[in-house]
C-alpha cells in the first residue's frame, strides 16, 4: 500500500474549500482525470455519501465507488473505497485549517493499494499526478471563485 500526503495554502476560507471539495458532481469540470461522477446515495443533509467515479488512470479507464464521511465538516472530509476495478484501496482525507487573512492550509492524504503490481517509477508519476489534481487544481478552483 502507498500513502502520500501534501499541504498547501489556498487563498480562501476553510468553508469555501470544503464547499468545492464536497461539490463532487462538478469534479469533471476541474479534475482532469475524472470523466464521470454518479451520486448513488446522499446523507441526511443532502451531501453525496456514496459516489461512483470513472476516471483515467495508467493510460486506461478505471471505475471505483467511494463512501464519504462528513463527521468533521466543515473542517474535514474523508472517504473510503467501497469497490474498484484497479484498486483495492483508495482512501483519503482533506483537512482545512484557517490561516491568516482568509487563507486556508489544506492537508491532503491518500492511501492507495493497487490490484496489480506496477513499477515504482510509474507509481511515483501517478502519485505526483494525483497530488496535482487533489491540491493544486483545488487551489486553482477555489481561488478562481468558480
**DSSP per residue over 87-113, as a string?**
EEEEEEEEEEEE-GGG-EEEEEEEEEE
3-state class of 86 per DSSP?
coil
92 or 4: whose pLDDT is higher? 92
Confidence tier at 44 by pLDDT (50, 70, 90): very high
List domains and CATH numbers for the chain. Answer: 2-144 (3.30.530.20)
Confidence tier at 60 by pLDDT (50, 70, 90): confident
Would you state the pLDDT for residue 125?
67
Question: Distance (Å, rounded) from C-alpha 134 to C-alpha 54?
Answer: 16
Alpha helices in 1-146 (DSSP H): 14-22, 27-30, 120-131, 137-144
Would you state the pLDDT for residue 139?
93
pTM over 0.85: yes
Amino acid at each position: 500500500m502507498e500513502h502520500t500526503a501534501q499541504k498547501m495554502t489556498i487563498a480562501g476560507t476553510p468553508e469555501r474549500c470544503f464547499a468545492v471539495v464536497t461539490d463532487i458532481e462538478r469534479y469533471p469540470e476541474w479534475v482532469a482525470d475524472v470523466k464521470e461522477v454518479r451520486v448513488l446515495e446522499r446523507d441526511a443533509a443532502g451531501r453525496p455519501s456514496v459516489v461512483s467515479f470513472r476516471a483515467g488512470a495508467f493510460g486506461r479507464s478505471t471505475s471505483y465507488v467511494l463512501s464519504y464521511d462528513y463527521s468533521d465538516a466543515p473542517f474535514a472530509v474523508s472517504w473510503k473505497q467501497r469497490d474498484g476495478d484497479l484498486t483495492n484501496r483508495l482512501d483519503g482525507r482533506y483537512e482545512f485549517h484557517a490561516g491568516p487573512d482568509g487563507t486556508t492550509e489544506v492537508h491532503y492524504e491518500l492511501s492507495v493499494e493497487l490490484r496489480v503490481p506496477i513499477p515504482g517509477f510509474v507509481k511515483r508519476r501517478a502519485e505526483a499526478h494525483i497530488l496535482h489534481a487533489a491540491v493544486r487544481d483545488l487551489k486553482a478552483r477555489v481561488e478562481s471563485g468558480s
